[in-house]
Structure formats: C-alpha cells, structure tokens
C-alpha cells in the first residue's frame, strides 16, 4: 500500500458509506450478505455467476449497487484486492456510462499502488460525472479531484516549511522600513487532515496565533484560517493559491474580506535556500503591488 493511501479510502469510502447508510434498502443489504457468503464459500467468480443469474434489478443503484458494496467490503475486511478488482470491473462492464464504477475501480488500483493507472480511471470518472446533473456525481467529482490532488501531492506544496524557524520580520510603509521584530514559528503537517499548521510565537516564546491551511482540490487553492489570541476579531479566513515560479521559488496570491467586507489581495514571493526562506509580502493597491513586509525564516533544527 502506498504511503498516501493508508487513509482507508478516506474520501471515496466515506462518501460511499454515507450514501449507503442513508439510502440502501434492507433487500439490497440482504443481497450483499448473500453474495458475501458465496464469496466466503466459493470465491469471487461464483459471486459474479450468482449475481448475473439472479440479480432481479438491472436499474443502476449508484453507490448502493450490491457488487460495489461487496467489493469495498472485500477490500476492507478481507484485504482481497484481486477479488475487489474483479467485482469493480464487472460494474464497469455492466454500467459503462456511469461515473462511480470507474471511480471505485481507481480505489482498488490505489491500494495496489498503481497510481498512474488509477489516475486514468479517475479522469474517466470525472469526464462522465461532469456531463451528469446528479448530486451523487457532484460527490464523485469532489472525491476524484481530491484523490488526484493527494496523488500529485498538491496538498503538500508548502511542506518545505515544516520545522522550527526563527522569524525576523520587517514592516514597510511607503517603501520604508517602519520596524523590525523577531519571533518564531513551529510548522507541522497533519497527514490525516492534509493540514499545514503554523504556530506563531512572540519574541519571548509566548504563543501568539495559529494558522491552519487546508488544500481545496476543487479550487486548487488553500483555505486558510488564522486565529490570534486576545484579538477582538478572533478568527479570519482567506484563500491562498500557490504557484511554483522556478526552482525553489514560489508565489502565493492571498485574498480575503476585511471587517468592512472589502476584498483585499496580497502577493507572497518566496525563495527557499538551504536553511533560509526569504519571504516578501506585497499588498495590492490602486497603484500596484506595494511591499508591506518581509520575513527571513532561519531554520532552528
């Protein structure tokens, strides 16, 4: 199993079991239980033979399809990836114009660590879902885009920042340095939540504030929450779109609404060196981008 896919189908199966628990009927579950017993006694091929012979309902049931349910069960409870792959393939053969069979097939390929092949099936699923106007297909698109983001490590674009840093900050006004402060940052990544967490301390090592960044695959940007201790505004939200400009060079465009609901934008130019990150922040004004601060992050560890 690949490192990025030890989340137990965190995206696809969560959606799958949510819809199943809400919509699956007793008869569908009874069918799954019956097919599972056939699998235990005779194997996956016997399951398909029985299903094709005795399945009375040919209408597509989405994620509540018995073979779809059973295949995930075999992945989780039996760790029988080949059997699950066989059942998912049967769903594609039965419903080639539906998005979810391709998405489900990508899950077993990811468990087999066949990432490139899995992406092809995800892209096929997305192409079909995009043409449909159903809530389930919207969920499939969200899951597919999220999986591709994880495969391509887009949620880890800023993970070079992980570690402990001294932070020398200079604040500018009209192009002139107004003051210089020293503080520290502890930056970590929460693998389970795909969150980059920044803890800011003051110069005397007292906690100041926290920033949490979560990658949004639908918009290809980070949703950011900033929390400051003892501040009347409490929590503020922004969005950050990251672009790699060259080797060890990044640009972030950040946007948020201030207290008066006015749209503000900032540009962050970042240069990464061995143990130093140079960070310049520019505020968008009517005359262009004006430098508002610089930060020199020096690695402690």
Q: Are residues 146 and 173 in the same domain?
A: no
Cα dihedral value 259, 263, 267, 268, nearest 10? 30
In this structure, the answer to whether residues 174 and 91 fall within a common structural domain is: no
By DSSP bridging, strand 235-246 and strand 221-228 are antiparallel
Determine the pLDDT at residue 61. 82
Q: Are residues 169 and 93 in the same domain?
A: no
Q: Does one domain contain both 135 and 198?
A: no
Overall pTM > 0.75 = no
3-class secondary structure, 276: strand
In degrees, to the nearest 5, what angle opens at C-alpha 271 toward C-alphas 268 and 277? Answer: 95
Number of structural domains (the chain) is: 2
What is the pLDDT at residue 10? 46
In this structure, what CATH number is given to the domain that contains residue 28?
A: 1.25.40.10
Do 7 and 120 sit in the same domain of this protein? yes
Q: Provide the H-helix boundaries in the chain.
A: 12-23, 26-42, 44-54, 66-73, 81-94, 100-111, 115-131, 135-151
Kindly give, in sequence order, each residue whose CB lies less than 8 Å from that of residue 190, ignoring residues fewer than 6 positions away: 196, 197
Q: What is the pLDDT of residue 27?
A: 64
Q: Mean pLDDT over residues 189-210, rounded?
A: 88
- What residues make up the domain containing 177? 156-299
**pLDDT above 90 covers what percent of the chain?**
66
Q: Which of 119, 152, 185 is the last residue of a domain?
A: 152
Mean pLDDT over residues 217-230, rounded? 87
Q: What percent of the chain shows pLDDT beyond 70?
A: 88
> Tokens representing 45?
């091929």
* Shared-domain flag, residues 29 and 115: yes
pLDDT digits (tens, 9 = 90+) for 129-151: 999 877 788 889 988 998 998 89
CATH of the domain at 253: 2.40.128.20
pLDDT, greater one: 90 or 256: 90
Last residue within a domain, chosen from 125, 152, 179? 152
139 shares a domain with 162: no
Q: Do both 172 and 36 map to the same domain?
A: no
Mean per-residue pLDDT of the chain: 87
């Amino acid at each position: 199993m690949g490192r990025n896919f030890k989340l137990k189908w965190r995206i696809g199966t969560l959606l799958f079991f949510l819809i199943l628990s809400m919509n699956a009927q007793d008869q569908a579950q009874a069918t799954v239980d019956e097919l599972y017993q056939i699998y235990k006694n005779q194997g996956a091929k016997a399951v398909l033979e029985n299903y094709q012979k005795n399945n009375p309902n040919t209408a597509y049931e989405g994620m509540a399809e018995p073979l779809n349910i059973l295949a995930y069960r075999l992945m989780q409870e039996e760790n029988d990836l080949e059997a699950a792959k066989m059942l998912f393939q049967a769903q594609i053969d039965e419903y080639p114009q539906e998005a979810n069979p391709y998405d489900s097939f990508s899950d077993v390929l990811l468990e087999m660590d066949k990432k490139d092949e899995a992406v092809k099936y995800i892209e096929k699923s997305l192409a079909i879902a995009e043409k449909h106007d159903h809530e389930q297909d919207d969920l499939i698109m969200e899951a597919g885009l999220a999986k591709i983001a994880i495969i391509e490590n887009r949620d880890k674009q800023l993970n070079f920042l992980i570690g402990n840093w001294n932070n020398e900050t200079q604040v500018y006004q009209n192009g002139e340095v107004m003051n210089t402060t020293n503080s520290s940052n502890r930056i970590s990544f929460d693998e389970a939540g795909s969150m980059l967490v920044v803890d800011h301390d003051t110069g005397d090592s007292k906690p100041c504030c926290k920033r949490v960044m979560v990658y949004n695959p639908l918009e290809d940007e980070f949703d950011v929450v900033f929390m400051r201790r003892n501040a009347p505004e409490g929590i503020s939200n922004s969005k950050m779109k990251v672009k790699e400009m060259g080797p060890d060079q990044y640009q972030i465009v950040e946007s948020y609404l201030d207290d008066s609901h006015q749209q503000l934008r900032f540009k962050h130019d970042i240069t990464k060196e061995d143990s130093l990150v140079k960070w310049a922040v520019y505020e968008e004004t009517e005359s262009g981008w004006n430098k508002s601060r610089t930060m020199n992050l020096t690695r402690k560890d």
